[in-house]
Structure 1
Amino acid sequence: MEISKELNISPILAKVLMNRGLTSVSEIKPFLTCTADDLHSPFIFYEMTKAVKLVEKNIESQKKILVYGDYDVDGITATTLLYQFLKSQKADVQYYIPDRMKEGYGLNKEAIEWAGREGFSLIITVDCGISSLEETELAKSLGINMIITDHHQPPVHLPEADAIINPTVLESGYPFPDLAGVGVAWKFAQAIYLNSVDQQIEGVILPEYLDLVSLGTIADVVDLTGENRIIVKMGLEAIASTTRPGLQALLDVAGIKGEKVDATQVSFLLAPRLNAAGRLSNARIGVRLLSSSDRDYCRDQAKILNMENCRRQTIEKAIFDEAMEMIENNHELQENLVLVLASERWHPGVIGIVASRLVERFYRPVILMTLEGEVAKGSARSIDNFHMYQALEHCKDLLIQFGGHKQAAGLKLTVHNIEAFRLKINEWAQAVLRKEDLIPIIQIDVDKEIDGSEERLAREISRLAPYGQGNPYPVFSFHDLRVKESRVVGANSAHLKIKFESEGKTLEGIGFNMSGHLAWLNDRDRVDVAGTLEINNWN
């Protein structure tokens, strides 16, 4: 294979790369090298210059600036980044993150009115604002300028802000639409910085924020391709060597030690602890933690977040069990293509996680809602071939508010409209989904035999990391393997440890949360296996 020879990689790695749509040397080389030279200029955004000038004007006249964020990890890191950067530029700046329980997602009129009373001249949103038409109009009427930086899908009509920096807006002119909210905030900070210095900057602009940008990008489950791949690859190194006391404290309570941090550790150990602030209490705790230089304070706050995360896990299990009971006891629900469930007992900060777990369980789009009086607030999660934002757009006559992406969204509606909404979104699903769309597919990259090359191959394919949405672990299939040993391991005996044999060669594997398969699996059974190849670093 020419690509294999020219890049000095194995034919197997070349095949895996081609399966990802990378079919030429000119595409594969930057994917593997992943350098800062491939990052785009922030000034490609059509309204970036206008936004930068407005910020500079407010800094020069020492007018009050408010960074308005969101309560998830993307919003927390974006708020921290822009707040710290503007402080470094001598701006009179404060930040505001709405309370999930009391205010909900995004801009709200009460917060805008508060900003007016407090004398803010400029509001800059991060990770929110693209759907806030009325709130933007209110800010304007109060004499407050608005810059919206966001990455969520735009509505048909955009807010009349002074400037909009959003890569998903077609008119933005930006070539990469998949930046996270913190990525957009970083681009904005870069543009302000570049406009304030005379000399040419080589390499990464504002690298001191890469730890935050990487953390928020991974946590928001955006595609780890293009710019995001570069950001996360550099950012994981920045997290491992961070001097930020708050992030060091989080790494410590999460039990992440060593010179390397990977995307899986960020997704499953770091992000949930930081997210716990916004889910159960107030996300401003997260901003204070990440921006503080007081090590004792950071250690204490990280411990609090760790306890909050444990509480979140308990609440999550209770909601999941109740949702499962609802589904199992309702035949009509079982027939629905989109599962729509609601309860007044469910915590609004946790239903999104449970919705994701139910998607994994049933492989159908899921919408869970918390009932608060006459209003239902929901979190939606989807499958590959069902565009959740478009589905909600179809049902907008029944909704008070909605926003999000293809895979995840938030919504609000009256309790009275829940049943009509369930019927309408399922009618949409019937029209757009085929039967095969509801069957989870394991994409096999390469069929392989156990031949002793597995460790070398595992080391080579690690060049494809960081893994995540849009760049999953390569999957290999092995056929007619003999089960040599099998047993359960881990907390609550949740995982399956197994040793396979073929032609005198062995390969060990672990199936996370797969211990139930031991009920039918016997030693000497012959099985076909799909899995990933990784170096075993556990003792």
Structure 2
Amino acid sequence: MTYRWILRSVDDPNVISDLQKELNGLPEALARALALRNVSSFDEARHFFRADREALHDPFLMQDMEAAADRVAEAIESDDPVLVYGDYDVDGTTASALMADFLRSQGVDAHVFIPDRYEDGYGLGSRGLDRAREIGATLVIALDCGITAMEEAAYARELGLDLIICDHHTPKATLPEAVAILDPKRDDCEYPFKELSGCGVGFKLVQATLDRLGQPADDAFRYLDLLAVSTASDIVPLYGENRVLMAEGLRVLQEKDEVRPGLRAMAQTADLDLADVTSTGKIVFTIGPRINAAGRMAQADLAVDLMLAPDVETALPMARELETLNRERREINDRIEKEAIELAERQITSRTPHGLVLYNPEWHLGIIGIVASSVVEHFHKPAILLARNGAEVKGSARSISGVNVYDALSDCEDVLTQFGGHDYAAGMSLPEDQVDAFRDAFDEAVGKRITAEMLTPAIKVDASMPLDVVGEHRGRFWAVLKQFGPHGPANATPVFHSGNLVLDGKPRTVGRGGNHLKFRVREADSDSRQSYDVIGFGMGNKLDVVRESYDSGEPIELLYSVEENTWNGRTTLQLKCRDVRLESSERVLQKESA
């Protein structure tokens, strides 16, 4: 795939030189990367690099928090049963485990209800509310769902149930009627940070309730391991509070004795050393999929029960069951992905769509969201996968940068029975006889929002610099750079650009099927002769480019991030290739539009 190389724009270039001075001659490339993360002074840099729990906001700044904390405290003091109602994904199940664990630690008879993806669908539903009534609960706490549940909230009132909604999705103009609605995205909510996960909102409620009970609010930090799993897996922006919670949570996950038994058992069955969980990637690609497998392939209650297990011995059988479900999920995923790509290719050939809507009634409903992401990556177009669920069709949407898929679905509202989500991911349901009409409506909606430039994926570059900067300042470059983490949306791993590079040795492909690219580079005109290993995962198709450079001596340009690599007990810096091209290429490093 061909990429546009875009040098990110700094609002005030003077900030770069100011940061260099204030931070004792910090390399310009790192000062620029800091400026791009809204760091403009020594104090802001200190906060960025040393953010800790003191940087978290008062939970009572959130709209309705006083009413919510008072009602939960009342339930604790009255010893009434409480129903915890959570979504079936990682965010919802971790939030449910967090809230149930907290309530049980306070002596509450807390029950958990997770909707069935097929029987109940997404969000707050009547079956869970009926369950609350059956157990004698007077309070339902909905987590990671409920912000658009008007009818369900009304039904809860009919049953005599108090409802607290803890959500982080975008509300509509009218909110459900409930005792309290905690959602930082509410227009009338003045909470300073808007991007908490659903589990994060639940965490804030726990903090506030502890305060109401006269207990230390810091007791809520025992749930940092769950918060880290939620924050990483739900792909929420990693700045502000999320970055603090993620960093603190990673530290907890690395301390085996502080991690709850269920997560330890899951790591054991996945052959994951928790001490190696130093970034969000290990969570996103190892822990998250296994928790999600329960809701995708069976019942998400299994994941909640695992996270609430009192000891590793109890947790291990459940962790092994999740491992089996995850293997089955991968096999089904591979089959559906192959079918979806073939279907997309036919659709592109026949109609050249702006967005892809792919329907197969037999596809597994729990897998289509993952495959939709793969289709977007393959074709670089917004994509929706649809599957039949009983009498209706349900789908998962994923999008590309610049196209808000939630807004696009809003244009299709007349053919949908329900929809909701974020800028880049959403879900919907519709009658089967409206699939063709929906395909046309979605294509038109995307067409109004997409530009020709968006159709060529871009790699955003933090700074252009000589390669030798990586090794300058006696290792200070890496000492500072590694403190930029943890990385994720809104705090991506910095990407650098270097040109005038020549190969130091013959390039090769490695891995199964030669899928990965490996070579070594140095600056052509440098006196240092310092060279660096480069690894390009999934970039074996770029071998011809670097081989031509090696054979002809023509320099290359490289986009890369810097990381540590440990091999045979020796740790060195290596460059993780994002893209590579010959310097003779007519393509240039473009400047980001203002």
TM-score bucket (shorter structure)? over 0.9
Distance 2:58 2:153 in 1: 28
Counterpart of 1:295 in structure 2 is 312
Q: 246-255 or 118-127: which moved more? A: 246-255
Q: Quick check: 1:191 aligned with 2:211?
A: no
Deviations along 1:340-395, one digit per CA (max 9) or x if unpaired, are 11111211111111111111122211111112354111111111211111222221
Counterpart of 1:231 in structure 2 is 245
Distance 2:342 2:112 in 1: 42
Amino acid at match of 1:367: I
Distance 2:19 2:239 in 1: 20
Q: Quick check: 1:163 aligned with 2:180?
A: yes
Report the alpha carbon displacement of residue 509 of structure 1 after superposing the two structures with TM. 1.1
Q: Quick check: 1:506 aligned with 2:552?
A: no
Judge conservation of contact 1:327–1:334 (CA < 8 Å) in 2: no
Judge conservation of contact 2:95–2:202 (CA < 8 Å) in 1: yes
Counterpart of 1:363 in structure 2 is 380
Counterpart of 1:147 in structure 2 is 164
Q: Quick check: 1:524 aligned with 2:565?
A: no
Q: Quick check: 1:4 aligned with 2:20?
A: yes
2:191 counterpart (171, 174, 180): 174
Judge conservation of contact 1:120–1:144 (CA < 8 Å) in 2: yes
1:488 counterpart (489, 509, 523): 509
Q: 143-152 or 475-484: which moved more? A: 475-484
1:120–1:259 distance in 2 versus 1, CA, 3 Å: same
Distance 1:391 1:205 in 2: 42
Matches within 5 A, 1:268-283: 268-283=285-300
Q: 472-481 or 127-136: which moved more? A: 472-481
Distance 1:258 1:425 in 2: 43
Matches within 5 A, 1:95-494: 95-197=112-214, 204-241=218-255, 242-257=258-273, 259-261=275-277, 262-331=279-348, 335-451=352-468, 453-454=470-471, 456-483=476-503, 484-494=505-515
Deviations along 1:112-164, one digit per CA (max 9) or x if unpaired, are 22322332211100001111111111111111111100001112211111110
1:17–1:57 distance in 2 versus 1, CA, 3 Å: same
Distance 2:80 2:469 in 1: 66
1:296–1:16 distance in 2 versus 1, CA, 3 Å: same
Distance 2:390 2:137 in 1: 33
1:260–1:4 distance in 2 versus 1, CA, 3 Å: farther
Deviations along 1:171-197, one digit per CA (max 9) or x if unpaired, are 122111100000000000110001111
Judge conservation of contact 2:517–2:537 (CA < 8 Å) in 1: yes
Structure 1, unaligned runs of 5 or more: none
SS in structure 1 at match of 2:271: coil
Report which structure shows greater RCO (CA 8 Å, sep ≥6).
2
Distance 1:115 1:266 in 2: 33
Report the alpha carbon displacement of residue 210 of structure 1 after superposing the two structures with TM. 0.5
Judge conservation of contact 1:452–1:505 (CA < 8 Å) in 2: no
Distance 2:21 2:545 in 1: 45
Judge conservation of contact 1:450–1:507 (CA < 8 Å) in 2: no
Distance 1:3 1:474 in 2: 17
Q: 242-251 or 5-14: which moved more? A: 5-14
1:497 counterpart (518, 528, 531): 518
2:52 counterpart (11, 35, 43): 35
SS in structure 1 at match of 2:467: coil
Report the alpha carbon displacement of residue 255 of structure 1 after superposing the two structures with TM. 2.8
Judge conservation of contact 1:381–1:407 (CA < 8 Å) in 2: yes
Judge conservation of contact 1:482–1:524 (CA < 8 Å) in 2: no
1:330–1:402 distance in 2 versus 1, CA, 3 Å: closer
Deviations along 1:54-94, one digit per CA (max 9) or x if unpaired, are 12222222222100001111111100000000111112211
Amino acid at match of 2:492: P
SS in structure 1 at match of 2:566: coil
Judge conservation of contact 1:148–1:161 (CA < 8 Å) in 2: yes
Counterpart of 2:37 in structure 1 is 20
Deviations along 1:3-35, one digit per CA (max 9) or x if unpaired, are 223234433221111122323334333111112
Structure 2, unaligned runs of 5 or more: 1-16, 569-594
Aligned residues: 536
Distance 1:400 1:62 in 2: 40
Distance 1:379 1:215 in 2: 22
Identity among equivalent pairs (%): 37
Judge conservation of contact 1:485–1:500 (CA < 8 Å) in 2: no
Q: 427-436 or 153-162: which moved more? A: 427-436
Question: Normalising by the residue count of structure 2, what TM-score does the alignment of the two structures yield?
Answer: 0.87
SS in structure 2 at match of 1:67: strand
Distance 2:373 2:235 in 1: 12
Distance 2:345 2:275 in 1: 46
Counterpart of 1:515 in structure 2 is 540
SS in structure 2 at match of 1:532: strand
1:537 counterpart (555, 560, 566): 566
Judge conservation of contact 1:458–1:535 (CA < 8 Å) in 2: no
SS in structure 1 at match of 2:188: helix
Report the alpha carbon displacement of residue 456 of structure 1 after superposing the two structures with TM. 4.8
Report the alpha carbon displacement of residue 520 of structure 1 after superposing the two structures with TM. 5.2
Amino acid at match of 1:283: A
Counterpart of 1:85 in structure 2 is 102
Judge conservation of contact 1:72–1:278 (CA < 8 Å) in 2: yes
Judge conservation of contact 2:385–2:395 (CA < 8 Å) in 1: yes
